[in-house]
Structure 1
Amino acid sequence: MSAKDSAKQIYDAVGGEDNINYLTHCVTRLRFRLKDESKVDDEKVKQIPGVMGINHQNGQYQVIIGNAVSDFYNEVVKLGNFPTDESADATETDDKESKGNLFDQFTSFISSCMSPLIPALIGGGMIKVILILLTTVGWMSTKSQSYTIISVFGDAPFYFLPIELAITASKYHKVNQMMAVIAGAILIHPNFISLVNSGKAIHLMGLPVTAASYSSSVIPILLIVWAMKYLEAFLEKVVPANFKSILKPLLEIFIVGVVSLVVIGPIGTWAGELLSGIVLLIQKHAAWLAMPLMAAFMPLIVMTGMHWAFAPIFLAASFATPDSLILPAMLAANIGQGAASLAVAFKTKNKNTRQIASAAAISALLAGVTEPALYGVTLKYKKPLYASMISGAIAGLFMGIVNLKSFAFAVPSILSIPQFVNKAIPSNFIYALIVIAIAFVLTFVLTLVFGFDEGTVPVTATVSDNDNATNDSKIASGTKETKKVFSPVKGEQIMLDSVNDPTFAQKLLGDGIAVIPEEGKFYAPFDGVVETVFPTKHAIGLKGDNGIELLIHIGLDTVELKGAPYDVKVKANQRVKKGDLLVIADLEAIKKAGYDIVTPVIVTNTKEFVEIVQSDKTTVDNDTVSFYAV
């Protein structure tokens, strides 16, 4: 399916123009801010060709695409008339800023400001990597004009960070964009830089000005734009209407300039130096511990989209000293994800899995883009993820001991390996190659040793009656006898993953299905014994004669109702036959109380079976096979 067709499905699945506040994208993700995320069926989105997963993060509905994200973005934008940045809706932003704890608000702000810049930073970083390679092999002189001009290409995205961040931060805070750009330009104006480089004390109308260089800085401009939000609101109130067109911009530029150079800029500089100092302290005294942890857990950090929220930290550190924390950790993690995917491609017998895993391995190993590997392979099969995390920890320990450093900002991969080249430390590049070898070989071998469960090869199931024999004839039977579980209630059957409760959706209690009931009568799904009737009557545990232990949980969080809407017709240790009435639930009362009536049906002894296979029915009742245990 083409990107155009998949983009149309994504657009429809998230609710179209009526449900989209704005849309942007980063390197691998479409980032929607939706009016109502509850309208979106996550499972439906995951099934769209080209979609590798979804993530709810900082008020954004993120659809993970991978390297082709810009193609999908362009096609989605064509489908509706909605904004493509956060400046679209002031009310939405105000709500966004007021929700969540301080850490959530901080990470949301950083991610929103940094994400649009990442492609430019990656491009500039890769140019600097190429220059390192060209000068190392002697194909270009560092004194040539070509080297100087190409260096400008690579340095520009970093040098002008204050202006770039002024634009993105102004969108976030609803500040006048051009005024924010002026604030960034003041920080890096050539005349001010000349004063700083002169080494003399600097004063502005008698006020001391810190002689700090703000080029490539991150924190000062973010603080300045944040302060501008309040300054603009203040000026809007106090400046007479007849003079606003003249006085407001005059006062804003002057006040911002003075406060930036005298107060906020120095505070931001000190904050950046503090971050750099912390990183240096970790590198000096605890690298042996920090590096294994960072490398091991980097896939999980990437999974949440938080890796770019770290950008101000490692940018602040890398401009003060080569980075020996974040980027080296990403090298081990990225290579590990690629190796795990390659091992899956090597071992699998499934043609489709081999194709997905091979493409994901190439993306991770050569480009350092790991979302395809993470969402398409390692997280899906879990054991390859564990293999990459273990090898990441071991490679991280080595990096911590030898103090591996990155000398350019680029996403670590095989192609960007020259970022670890430094003529003054020739061993550093050798160490980087050793890290690649450790991460690749160890992850590949561990993945093969651990294996991964793709499920069983489908064969015709042996079904004794005709209830679903035709439609479900391709249910996998594996090597054990197939055991049937009928639906306990009439309604719409859905996948367990789509239940709005992480305990059930992540299958922490076991695998199974869920039903949105149409009526309140719940029946025994097989012959067996009632093992448990919960005191609050909202859940019943059964043990079938077929060995299946089943939990029927009527509604989500309905334990809070203390049994009021439920009339239980059985008791513990009572024997039941398939079709016996278990509970009558007042569904309307449950909904009026504000609770979801969706009913998870969980096999609590899932580990005793090869797999739980949902039937192809969406409309079910007690005479319909809901799923099979193999």
Structure 2
Amino acid sequence: MGNKELVQKIIAAVGGAINIQSVWHCATRLRFKLKDKTLVDKKTLEVMSEVVAVVDSGGQLQIVIGNDVNEVYKSLREQYQTSEDEVSNEEVVDAPNHEKMINRIITFISGTFSPFLGALAGTGVLKGILALSLVAGWLTPESGVYKIWYAAGDALFYFLPILLALTAAKQLKVNQYTAMALAGALVYPSLATQLMNPDPLMFFGVPVVGANYASSVLPILLAVWLLSYLEPQFNRILPASIRNILTPMLLLMIMVPLTLLSIGPLGNWIGQVLSAGIMNINQSVPFLAGAIIGACWQLFVIFGVHWTFIPIIANNIGELGHDPLTPIICASVMAQAGAALGVFLRVRDTKLKSIAGSSVLTSLLGITEPTIYGVTLKLKKPFYIAIGAGGLGGAIIALGKVQATAFTLPSLLSLPAYLEGGVIYLVLGLSLAFGISTVGTYFFGVTATVHDQPTQLYDEDIKAPVVGQIVPLMSIDDEVFASGAMGQGIGIIPKQNIITAPVTGEIVTVHPHAIGIRSKQGAEILIHVGINTVQLNGKHFKKLVEPGKKVNLGDPVLEFDRQAIQKAGYDPIVLLIVTNTPNYQCQITQDLETTKNWLIRLRPNPKAAK
């Protein structure tokens, strides 16, 4: 099954998202801290083919995944949030308060826009097609076809405050229908007309500032935020028998005029300042602004901060009628598609080629996450090349002052919405972003270990990564490693503090306490220092290599303080595991006195080859 389906089944088996207090991962396993362990369905977890073992140890439920744990964890982070909106990892368990606040803001924005983002983008594409139809002379503004389709394309954006009220209220746990009534009042036809009248509307002698709230973003978000503070107070004061009626009534009586008198104008002013600032930067230094956004957009996606741009883009469309950011972002999207195509054309590995091929299509349609996490970021160089190509394409598009006239997801489908500005610059910028990324990735972005990985395994001897006393794997105080579930191997009680490469090959994964290496002959080797040392959060460890680094036999890869680890209450034993053991006939040394000779002798398994 895919990672998304696997994560869904794991979450269900551990008692649901509501039962998860925090979750992180180490080199081989997902580690859950649960509220109630009795809700765990251990048998269901153990029968999953992707789950190697399930361990309850140290107050944690440990689900052993193996080498793919990082990809599974990424999928889990995309899908899962605890009730406190926390997802921990092995390096950052408790985030500072300011980081939690940033996470909450991003979570609020993403939860507010994501439910209808597809529909909003689809109607934006429809408006772009209609604009193209007018330019090409296929339709006229007076035709019934144009008017009906324009209403279909514009209605959702026109009534955007109502949709935002619905989803924002859900995020802030406010009565959604009260919030929608508040937003409806802002765009109520007769009131909206009166607000635009030169003669100000008076409320108990106070003039109401004239404003147009159709298609606006910030006023309703601020209003619902304030609503989330007022509603609990009314519910606390009013008797339960009349609360359901009087609370909405009183809130609307207070919040509608308050929004029209102060919150709405403040939100509009903030939106105008943001839009004016972006437009000034784009006009003053367009090449630089486009280069930065085009290059960094996928980094924003990785860290989740891209959601903070959605209100700004929507505000630009509502306030100014156009937006300069979306076409620039489109260059970044096309660059990722080009990088995926370069990988697809270059690699021989069937699985990676399949993932890269499908990622090209999804990226062209505006969804880059599968490309980033499944292909480019995983291989690193294609990601860097795409950053450069996206920056160049974005700079050219910004130089041409290309504008989006409707809210869309940046993709090939959105091109009709990018007609305002220099179309030649748009075509040139997108073409260069896609082309340079494709060619650059094909020639320079894929290492030999990916496209020339040996299809045949060879005889190989695995040397000791550290000097020490050899102990059988079955004697290790960890049932997953001792059972051989992770693969055949051996333990070493270390007598020194330096881990060296036991083979010549490439570093695949790096954790503070563990190193993954793929040898030139095809063996996949895990060196794991200590039992449960992931809980040290990197303390007493020093990484000497990074993923992708080529190493020779005997090169230092990790430094640790075995005495300090033992003093902290952890066993510092070094585990040497061949994780693709089924591909070999594996012989473990019987010489327990020395680590100078080979420890594990591998011979290709004829049955595995078949």
After TM superposition, is the score higher than 0.5? yes
Unaligned runs of 5+ in 2: 21-31, 36-59, 88-93, 465-487, 495-506, 518-523, 534-538, 545-550, 591-597, 603-610
Partner SS for 1:488: strand
- Root-mean-square deviation (CA, aligned residues, Å) is 4.4
Offset of residue 170 of structure 1: 1.1
Partner SS for 1:203: strand
Offset of residue 386 of structure 1: 1.5
Offset of residue 460 of structure 1: 2.9
Please give the alpha-carbon distance, in whole angstroms, between the structure 1 residues aligned to 2:255 and 2:15: 38
Please give the alpha-carbon distance, in whole angstroms, between the structure 2 residues aligned to 1:220 and 1:622: 71
| 8 Å contact from structure 2 (residues 489, 575) kept in 1 | no
Offset of residue 164 of structure 1: 1.0
Equivalent residues in 2 for 1:390-469, closer than 5 Å: 390-422=388-420, 425=421, 428-453=422-447, 454-455=449-450, 456-463=453-460
Offset of residue 227 of structure 1: 0.8
Please give the alpha-carbon distance, in whole angstroms, between the structure 1 residues aligned to 2:531 and 2:214: 63
Partner SS for 2:78: strand
| 8 Å contact from structure 2 (residues 85, 104) kept in 1 | no
Please give the alpha-carbon distance, in whole angstroms, between the structure 1 residues aligned to 2:192 and 2:415: 33
Change (3 A) 1:90 1:10: closer
Please give the alpha-carbon distance, in whole angstroms, between the structure 2 residues aligned to 1:132 and 1:327: 17
1:229-269 deviation line (CA, Å, top 9, x unaligned): 21112212333556434433321110111211112111111
| 8 Å contact from structure 1 (residues 539, 551) kept in 2 | yes
Please give the alpha-carbon distance, in whole angstroms, between the structure 1 residues aligned to 2:143 and 2:19: 46
Offset of residue 15 of structure 1: 5.2
Offset of residue 55 of structure 1: 3.8
Please give the alpha-carbon distance, in whole angstroms, between the structure 2 residues aligned to 1:164 and 1:253: 17
Equivalent residues in 2 for 1:11-30, closer than 5 Å: 11-14=8-11, 16=13, 18-21=15-18
| 8 Å contact from structure 2 (residues 346, 442) kept in 1 | yes
| 8 Å contact from structure 2 (residues 400, 426) kept in 1 | no
| 8 Å contact from structure 1 (residues 43, 497) kept in 2 | no
Partner SS for 2:141: coil
Offset of residue 294 of structure 1: 0.6
User: AA paired with 2:168?
Assistant: A
Change (3 A) 1:552 1:192: same
| 1:371 match | 369
Please give the alpha-carbon distance, in whole angstroms, between the structure 2 residues aligned to 1:278 and 1:254: 35
Please give the alpha-carbon distance, in whole angstroms, between the structure 2 residues aligned to 1:270 and 1:505: 53
Taking structure 1 as the reference length, what is the TM-score of the superposition?
0.68
Unaligned runs of 5+ in 1: 24-33, 64-83, 468-483, 491-495, 521-535, 556-562, 567-584, 592-596, 603-611
User: AA paired with 2:569?
Assistant: I
Q: What is the count of residue pairs matched by the alignment? A: 498
1:438-483 deviation line (CA, Å, top 9, x unaligned): 112222222233131244214333335999xxxxxxxxxxxxxxxx
Please give the alpha-carbon distance, in whole angstroms, between the structure 1 residues aligned to 2:143 and 2:532: 80
Partner SS for 2:581: coil
Partner SS for 1:166: helix
Please give the alpha-carbon distance, in whole angstroms, between the structure 2 residues aligned to 1:44 and 1:10: 15
User: AA paired with 1:370?
Assistant: T
1:267-311 deviation line (CA, Å, top 9, x unaligned): 111111111111112112122211101101112112223323310
Please give the alpha-carbon distance, in whole angstroms, between the structure 2 residues aligned to 1:540 and 1:291: 36
Partner SS for 1:369: coil
Partner SS for 2:367: coil
1:195-214 deviation line (CA, Å, top 9, x unaligned): 02323212211122111111
The reply on whether 1:194 has 2:188 as its aligned counterpart is: no
Further displaced range: 242-251 or 311-320: 242-251
Please give the alpha-carbon distance, in whole angstroms, between the structure 2 residues aligned to 1:10 and 1:169: 27
Change (3 A) 1:336 1:463: closer
Please give the alpha-carbon distance, in whole angstroms, between the structure 1 residues aligned to 2:231 and 2:105: 22
Please give the alpha-carbon distance, in whole angstroms, between the structure 2 residues aligned to 1:267 and 1:314: 18
Partner SS for 2:412: coil
Please give the alpha-carbon distance, in whole angstroms, between the structure 2 residues aligned to 1:429 and 1:193: 36
Equivalent residues in 2 for 1:470-549, closer than 5 Å: 487-488=491-492, 513-515=526-528, 517=530, 546-549=553-556
| 1:590 match | 569
| 1:62 match | 78
| 8 Å contact from structure 1 (residues 21, 35) kept in 2 | no
Equivalent residues in 2 for 1:156-171, closer than 5 Å: 156-171=155-170
Further displaced range: 352-361 or 264-273: 352-361
Please give the alpha-carbon distance, in whole angstroms, between the structure 2 residues aligned to 1:45 and 1:188: 54
Please give the alpha-carbon distance, in whole angstroms, between the structure 1 residues aligned to 2:141 and 2:401: 27
Please give the alpha-carbon distance, in whole angstroms, between the structure 2 residues aligned to 1:263 and 1:505: 58
| 8 Å contact from structure 1 (residues 129, 410) kept in 2 | no
Please give the alpha-carbon distance, in whole angstroms, between the structure 2 residues aligned to 1:290 and 1:627: 57
| 8 Å contact from structure 2 (residues 327, 404) kept in 1 | yes
| 1:116 match | 115
Partner SS for 1:460: coil
Please give the alpha-carbon distance, in whole angstroms, between the structure 2 residues aligned to 1:189 and 1:22: 43
| 8 Å contact from structure 2 (residues 491, 574) kept in 1 | no
Please give the alpha-carbon distance, in whole angstroms, between the structure 2 residues aligned to 1:91 and 1:371: 21
Offset of residue 413 of structure 1: 2.3
Identical-pair percentage = 27
| 1:338 match | 337
| 8 Å contact from structure 2 (residues 279, 324) kept in 1 | no
Q: 1:389 aligns with which of 387, 390, 404?
A: 387
Further displaced range: 256-265 or 405-414: 405-414
Please give the alpha-carbon distance, in whole angstroms, between the structure 1 residues aligned to 2:578 and 2:310: 43
User: AA paired with 1:262?
Assistant: L
User: AA paired with 1:412?
Assistant: P
| 1:551 match | 558
Partner SS for 1:352: helix
Please give the alpha-carbon distance, in whole angstroms, between the structure 1 residues aligned to 2:74 and 2:406: 30
Please give the alpha-carbon distance, in whole angstroms, between the structure 2 residues aligned to 1:277 and 1:519: 53
